[in-house]
Amino acid sequence: MKSTKIYDQAHEWIVFGRDPDKLEKIIDTNQYMVKVGDRALLLDPGGTEIFAPMLTAVLEHVRVDQISDLFASHQDPDIISSLGLWEEAVPESRLHTPWLWEGFIRHFGSHKIEFVPIPDEGGVIDMGAIKLQLIPAHYLHASGNFHVYDPVAKILMSGDVGAALEAPEAPMFVEDFDQHVANMKMFHQRWMPSNRAKQDWIQRVRKLDIEIMAPQHGRMFKDADVGHFLDWFEALEVGVAVP
Amino acid sequence: MTRSLNKKENILIAAATISSELREVRKIAREMSLGVMNAKAISHRAGDTARGFRPITDFIDEMAHEIISLVNQISKQSVKFSYLAVRHRHLYQTTIHYQKIIDQGDAVKHIKSLKKVMSKVNADSEQCRKSFIAMTRKLSTLLEDIQRSTRGAQIISATSRVEASRAEGFSQSLEVVANQVDDSTDNIRTRLQISHDHLIGVLNLLCREKW
């Protein structure tokens, strides 16, 4: 699995993905890690099927015992079905996840790890020198859903918002926004159920200073493309499966 | 016949099968108990001609209750057995995933930190295996206790037929009861044997394992 540093200052952001050995029918995912001093936080650490390549890639950057926190934006299997495997490795770590999904996520084989339920209005993951903000993104697409904003690195981990279904060899960043729209359109129209939730999220996110918007699938958006995405998403009709 | 268990997955199937077979055994024993109540009523109506049949109904009733009581005991243990089966499977899967990384050796920068974790997982797995073996043996003993309880039933059903034939006017009804007892105990024994075979299969697999 490929790992790329997208922010490398006093703390680091690393994206893991584009696994060439991934089984063909498994959706490609981006996993993120925020490394602050001796601690590391894994954001949407992924499904069981990619656990081994993901942990291999993580071990290039940190020791197992440095992983102090996990975050699951929502309950989907590609987000957190590997929990039972992580738990054996980092039983002392904490899992930050929407309160709504705790009872569901525990079905992924969790007995030891400490759950930190995130209230609907959001919260903070305190990584010591860095305080990461938990931005509500309910109904985008899950009914309890959060994104993670780093005000220092100016990165928004945006979960399924901004996602695109692409080949594993796709570039890490959007290069031509207009061309990229075709990769995102169906995903957003079908997976995102609520225009009202979408508008609410856009209003909230427009107030943030974002240099990189980092979705859980496909390419990341940089600088002006973040604004391009918000404009495009604002105009898009979602929830189209309802006749 | 002892079923062979070649794959770890089969342990989960064995655990589920044992639970299911035990539920059936309890159901049959309950039906036997109800059948006995019917037999008691018939032999009461038959009066002196069915005198020999009455102690038989008492024996069958006692046996059915003993089976139900033993199955209730064993059912609680079989729930723990299923949990251990799942834990065993989980730790096995975990070691497979971790081993894939460890096999890459020093090419992975912080591999030493994972090796420590792997030692802990291996120790947990060994502990789980030992608990699982102990639980399997305990279940096996409980199953043998039930099997022992059913042993006298064959002799009793033969005797009950003889006694049924003496109950003039009621012999046909009592023979039906005798046949039901025969069929039920046969069914119970078969199901207990299936459960026992599964347990032996699990035990063999666990004893062969090396972590």
- pLDDT tens column, A50-87: 999 999 999 999 999 999 999 999 999 999 999 999 99
Which regions in chain B score pLDDT beneath 70?
1-9, 210-211
Q: What is the largest CA-CA distance in chain B?
A: 89
For residue A115, pLDDT beyond 90: yes
- Is B113–A59 a contact, with Cβ atoms under 8 angstroms apart? yes
> Which sign does the torsion angle of CA A217, A222, A226, A228 carry?
negative
Query: How much is the pLDDT for B210?
Result: 62
Which residue, among B94, B104, B128, would best test binding to A if mutated, counting the most A CBs under 10 Å from its CB? B94
A203-206 LR contacts (CB < 8 Å, sep 24+): A204/A135, A204/A136, A205/A135, A205/A147, A205/A156, A205/A230, A206/A230
**Calpha distance B153→B64 (Å, rounded):** 10
Which residue, among B115, B117, B122, would best test binding to A if mutated, counting the most A CBs under 10 Å from its CB? B117
User: Which residue carries 């079989």 as its tokens?
Assistant: B78
- Is B94–A52 a contact, with Cβ atoms under 8 angstroms apart? no
- For A82-107, what is the mean pLDDT? 96
Q: How many CB atoms lie within 10 A of CB B144?
A: 12
For chain A, positions 53-82, list CB contacts with chain B under 8 A.
55-56, 59-66
> B127 to chain A, minimum CA–CA distance in Å?
15
**Calpha distance B127→A70 (Å, rounded):** 28
Q: Which residue of A has its CA nearest to B121?
A: A88
Query: How much is the pLDDT for B4?
Result: 45
Q: Which pLDDT band, with edges at 50, 70 and 90, does A92 fall under?
A: very high
Which residues lie across from A125 on neighbouring strands?
A132
Query: How much is the pLDDT for B5?
Result: 47
Q: What percent of chain A has pLDDT over 90?
A: 91
- Is A59–B110 a contact, with Cβ atoms under 8 angstroms apart? yes
Which residues in chain B have Cβ-Cβ distances shorter than 8 Å to A88?
91, 94, 98, 117, 120-121, 124
- Is B110–A85 a contact, with Cβ atoms under 8 angstroms apart? no
Cis before A96 (ω within 30): no
Computed over every residue of chain A, the mean pLDDT equals 96
Query: How much is the pLDDT for B130?
Result: 94
Interface of B with A (CB under 8 A): 90-91, 93-94, 97-98, 100-101, 104, 108-114, 116-117, 120-121, 124
Report the SS3 class of residue A148. strand
Which residues in chain B have Cβ-Cβ distances shorter than 8 Å to A60?
108-110
Query: How much is the pLDDT for B8?
Result: 57
Query: How much is the pLDDT for B175?
Result: 84
Per residue in A150-200, pLDDT (tens digit) is 999 999 999 999 999 888 789 999 999 999 999 999 999 999 999 999 999
Fill in the amino acid letter for A66: Q
Query: How much is the pLDDT for B1?
Result: 37
